[in-house]
Amino acid sequence: MVVLNPGDTAWMLMATILVLLMSIPGIALYYSGLSKSKNVLNTIYLTFIAFSVASIIWVCYGYSFAFGSTINGLIGAPANLFMTGMGVNDLNGTIPALLFVIFQLTFCGLTAALISGGVVGRMKTSAWVAFVILWVTLVYVPVAHWVWGGGWLMEMGALDFAGGTVVHIDSGVSALALALVLGPRKDTTLLPHHLGYSVIGAAFLWFGWLGFNGGSGLAANGLAANAILVTNVAAAVALVTWIVIDKVKVGKPTVLGAISGAVAGLVAITPAAGFVDVPAAIVIGFVTSFVSYFALYYLKPKLGYDDALDVFGIHGMSGLWGAIATGIFANPAINEAAGLLYGNPNQVVIQIIAAVATVIYAFVLSYIIAKVLDVTMGIRVDEATEVKGLDTQLHGESGYRL
């Protein structure tokens, strides 16, 4: 008989709070420091409102459709709308069912907030809210069901321990689609107005990510310890690697490069954290810096898209690498699943199918949502508002009054 485990419950309560710190204040500070000073408050606002809207959707119907009994592997049956039928003593494994709900809520809110980095400085706040509502409903919830809720990718055997596919590929390609519909900013230079904010935000992300990955096994055990260990290792290796690349390419290490590398490493290890060992984490962290560096400084200029804060370059591309790397390095001694290096090349094929399916679905749906909103309500601010800054024009406030 399964009973509540106080240790597991205490750890998952803490892990949930850690993931919350990734969005508020982590993403809010990380993105706002990278933006222009005239848009700092609007950038923070996009994170707060996205997380809040996603939270409401999740408890009303998002959780039910994501984790309800599967309907043909595509979506869950809505058995617990508005959390009806779920009591405080109901369990999900060894933890309270409501604790699992709120843990997954933080993932949903974080993913929606991540997309905002692609649109800063030029999107109407009303359009952003409408986009989040439609995107969480039509993109995040179905993909979460496919991978984690008993859907077709889960049945196929796709591995995604903490969200490389559901969170990072999803948000990365969706940000790219939305940025393409919006079009480039009038001034596309990326000159962080307060890099200190971004460093603090990155620190919160790194700190919170240990709960993000460490909590995804839903238990306080050796698997959680391994997930935390390899998460930290991959981030550290990616940070050092990016610094070395900077040193070679521009002649000096940069703080922006350091935190970009750390976040890329955290993204890449996310799907693999519950399946790989330390040597694999070192390789994953090392390679991902090259993957995201290529996307930021070669792919982006060549293709000409204006993903303002490089959500696609870091989250999308490192998420893709992490998903595939999971299929290569999954070690059965860690969590039963075996990858290419342990005699199961088919796992790489499954990972690629899951990644490609998510890329196509998230991009196409996000593009359609953005196009529909653009035609019906308009999604971009006027030129005068963009030039003067969204803080004063949309909010009547200023981040700085010196």
Domain boundaries defined on the chain: 6-395
> Can you tell me the distance from the alpha carbon of 33 to that of 101, in angstroms, rounded to the nearest whole number?
31
DSSP codes, 13-75 = HHHHHHHHHIIIIIIHHHHHHHS-GGGHHHHHHHHHHHHHHHHHHIIIIIHHHHHSSEETTTE
pLDDT of the chain, 402 residues: tens digit per residue: 789 999 999 999 999 999 999 999 999 999 999 999 999 999 999 999 999 999 999 999 999 999 999 999 999 999 999 999 999 999 999 999 999 999 999 999 999 999 999 999 999 999 999 999 999 999 999 999 999 999 999 999 999 999 999 999 999 999 999 999 999 998 887 789 999 999 999 999 999 999 999 999 999 999 999 999 999 999 999 999 999 999 999 999 999 999 999 999 999 999 999 999 999 999 999 999 999 999 999 999 999 999 999 999 999 999 999 999 999 999 999 999 999 999 999 999 999 999 999 999 999 999 999 999 999 999 999 999 999 999 999 999 999 986
Contact 269, 281 (CB under 8 A): yes
Contact 99, 9 (CB under 8 A): yes
CB atoms within 10 A of CB 64: 25
Superfamily in which the 6-395 domain is placed by CATH = Ammonium transporter AmtB like domains (1.10.3430.10)
3-state secondary structure of 76: strand
3-state secondary structure of 352: helix
